[in-house]
Amino acid sequence: MIQIAVLGYGTVGSGVVEVINTNHSSINKKAGEEINIKYVLDLRDFPGDPIQDKIVHDYEVVVNDPEIKIIVEVMGGVEPAYTFVKRALLSGKSVCTSNKELVAKHGAELLDIARDRNINFLFEASCGGGIPIIRPLNSSLTADEIDEITGILNGTTNFIMTKMIEEGSEFEDVLKEAQEKGYAERNPEADVEGHDACRKIAILSSLAFGKQVDFEDIYTEGITKITATDIKYAKALGKTIKLLAFSKKVGESFYAMVAPVLLGPTDPLFSVNGVFNAIFVHGNVLGDAMFYGSGAGKLPTASAVVSDVVDAAKHLHRSIMSFWSSHKLELTDISNSQRKFFVRVKGNQQDDLAKIEEIFGTVKPVIVPGVEGEFGFTTEILSEAEYSAKAAKLGTVINRIRMR
């Protein structure tokens, strides 16, 4: 019997307990040995819940118990999770976590500790909820050199953008609905400003490129500036808007960004709607691959955590994770990255198009019936720096959205 402990009995923690109890027989068969939850650490008590008999309030009970072989960390946040996880690994216990903040900030260090002790630090659920992506990057795609990862990595923002496209609603109205349905937190900043997706693409990029990608270095732009008028222009273009997180190797340079992007119907991410996530990977041998599924939620995330528990149980004394070096990967400034842009400007096409083309070169005007006092246009391929300089010179830009 393999004894495990769960740190945190919130949404994901209770989901882990539920998954293990519901699929106990098949999980044990796949693990090759019975997995038993000995402790659940939480500050609270849960009277009436069968888990109450396993509740402990002191981490020392967990970390000092030699019977505990695997610890599941689902508390969230950097502290005390980092302190608890590091102590667990140093004491020879494998750790499985869904904590993207922890992995993005301390992943390289914790992986090194696990490797040195022939145990495991696993984090499948930290990126994409229930979508299997860490394990493919760690095993199935190791013959490839990955040169691009692009994903819809946040279910909250994808739900909001989907509803805005479908209903033509304003951001604030859809955000309120998302909060009422439990898809968005009371304080939604981490989601809607892109910070959540930023941490996830930092983790995926670190694994794919083999060096530490600091999330603080990634240019990040959320969806709070997208309006119902932007949606009208997107529809006029036959496109949709998604919050994309992407990293790409171009020659010897590496770019990473999180930002709203206009996608056309031929793009594989175009039809990923609602709270679903998808991750597009390009390798030099494989070519294109896409991973799709539930990106968040209690049971999808818990399922990914428990899959790591099974993996850790099968490899109690052998480290199986790839490691990214703690050496920092220097990202190239996005000012050199190139793409087309959609731009909204004050004025009207008849009076202002000549000046715009004088500055931007050839553009394609976009007119939306009923939208007055402004119009839109799409540019040819420009670098970020070129676009910024031209937009500043024009001086009448209302908004701009990158195109893919």
Whether 89 has a pLDDT exceeding 80, the answer reads: yes
Q: What pLDDT shows up at residue 184?
A: 79
Distance (Å, rounded) from C-alpha 342 to C-alpha 237? 10
Do residues 370 and 282 share a domain?
no
Mean pLDDT for all residues in the chain? 94
Catalytic positions, written as ranges: 200
Do residues 149 and 201 share a domain?
yes
Tokens 């970390």, residue located: 63
- Would you state the torsion angle of the CA atoms of residues 40, 43, 46, 50, taken in this order, to the nearest 10 degrees? 10
Q: What pLDDT shows up at residue 348?
A: 93
Does residue 138 form part of some domain? no
SS3 at position 128: coil
Q: Which two tokens stand for residue 229?
A: 């008028």
- For 52-80, write each residue's pLDDT tens digit: 999 999 999 999 999 999 999 999 999 99
DSSP element (H, E) containing 276: strand 276-283
Do residues 88 and 190 share a domain?
no
**Binding-site residue ranges:** 7-14, 100, 185
Q: What pLDDT shows up at residue 125?
A: 92
Is the distance from CB of 120 to CB of 135 less than 8 angstroms? no
Is the distance from CB of 96 to CB of 90 less than 8 angstroms? no
Q: What pLDDT shows up at residue 132?
A: 87
DSSP states of 92-124: T-EEEE--HHHHHHHHHHHHHHHHHTT--EE-G
Do residues 172 and 302 share a domain?
no
**Binding-site residue ranges for NADP(+):** 7-14
Do residues 147 and 290 share a domain?
yes
Give the closest residue to 404 by CA, choosing from 248, 203, 204, 202: 248
Whether 151 has a pLDDT exceeding 90, the answer reads: yes
Model-level pTM? 0.93
Give the closest residue to 334 by CA, choosing from 385, 379, 380, 378: 385
Do residues 77 and 178 share a domain?
no
**Binding-site residue ranges for NADPH:** 100
Do residues 50 and 65 share a domain?
yes
Q: What pLDDT shows up at residue 242?
A: 98
Is the distance from CB of 356 to CB of 345 less than 8 angstroms? yes
Do residues 251 and 342 share a domain?
no
Does residue 135 form part of some domain? no
Report strand pairing: 55-56 vs 338-339: unpaired
Do residues 236 and 287 share a domain?
yes
- For 263-321, write each residue's pLDDT tens digit: 999 999 999 999 899 999 999 888 999 999 887 778 888 999 999 999 999 999 999 98
**Binding-site residue ranges for L-homoserine:** 185
Is the distance from CB of 200 to CB of 208 less than 8 angstroms? no
- For 203-236, write each residue's pLDDT tens digit: 999 999 999 999 999 999 999 999 999 999 999 9
Question: In sequence order, what are the residues at sequence separation of 6 or more whose Cβ sits closer than 8 angstroms to the Cβ of residue 346?
Answer: 373, 374, 396, 398
User: How many domains, the chain?
Assistant: 3
Q: What pLDDT shows up at residue 17?
A: 97
Question: In sequence order, what are the residues at sequence separation of 6 or more whose Cβ sits closer than 8 angstroms to the Cβ of residue 146?
Answer: 137, 208, 209, 249, 281, 282, 283
CATH number at residue 352: 3.30.70.1150
Report strand pairing: 94-97 vs 121-122: parallel
Whether 142 has a pLDDT exceeding 80, the answer reads: no
Do residues 321 and 344 share a domain?
no
Host domain of residue 115: 2-129+298-325
Query: Taking residues 384-393, what's their average pLDDT?
Result: 98
Report strand pairing: 338-339 vs 382-383: antiparallel
Cβ atoms within 10 Å, residue 43: 9
Distance (Å, rounded) from C-alpha 29 to C-alpha 170? 50
